[in-house]
Amino acid sequence: MPAPPTADPRIADIARSGALRLALFPSFFYRRDAGGEPRGVGIEIAQALAERIGVVLRPTEYPSPPKVVEGLAAGLADVALLGIDPVRGKEVDFSPPLLAADFTYLVPENSAARAIADADRPGVRVALVRHHAMDTALRGKLTAAVPVYVDTPDAAYDLFREGLADVLAGIRPGLLMYAGKLPGTRVLDDAYGRNVIALAVKKGEAGRLAYVGEFAMQARADGTVTRAIASAGLRGVDLG
């Protein structure tokens, strides 16, 4: 797709390149379909941004959120969809929020835990993804339960499914998805934090940040984000 002849100077380099480089990591906002094509809320929102600039979308998958941050900081990617996190904020800048979801727990149906605090007991193993916003939000809140770390949400789910963890921590839409796959489980109603999702760009690029911020606010206002959530079939997500 050719770049517009009068591209906004704030994203002129992206327009000249002909592609918006999107950094991704395995999450509930991005999945590959049966044919291996990337799909999900993050893809749809980034596609709308690429169309606004007048370029194609070029997604690249990274193994984890920290690697996405490294890619942005190194200039290997133009934008990413990330949870706003003070640790990440040292290396990237964030747009206004696009959407948000609670951090909560998935537990067995017969678990005595009815609230987050109920699961903080000696001997309880909590599966969660290291260096993820779900990890940051939980730090300092476990006084008796023990965190069991893995690298991806699916790996955490496998621990829980196989009985190697008693509780699965995560984002509500993802836990609702897992609960649908694993009868005899339930998602707690309360939360231990919020994952507020925004577009992230390399730190210090004020022009690009302003352009992406304007897009984020427009995408919320014109229904782009709402349509992306509906298209992905996500539950437990809101506009923050």
Q: Which domains does the chain have, with CATH numbers?
A: 9-99+197-238 (3.40.190.10), 102-193 (3.40.190.10)
pLDDT at residue 6, as a whole number? 52
Core vs surface per residue 195-212: b (16+ CB within 10 A) or e: bbbbbbbbbebeebbebb
Reference 28, options 197, 163, 192, 164; nearest CA is: 197
User: In terms of Cα–Cα distance, which of 214, 221, 229, 155 is closest to 11?
Assistant: 214
Name the helix (H) or strand (E) containing 56: strand 56-61
Low-confidence ranges of the chain (pLDDT < 50): 1-5
Q: What's the pLDDT at 3?
A: 44
pLDDT score at 38: 73
pTM: 0.85
User: What pLDDT score was predicted for residue 86?
Assistant: 82
Q: What is the pLDDT of residue 35?
A: 77
HSE-CB of 69 using CA atoms within 13 angstroms:
20
Residue 214: its H or E element: helix 206-221
Dihedral sign, Cα of residue 196, residue 198, residue 204, residue 207: negative
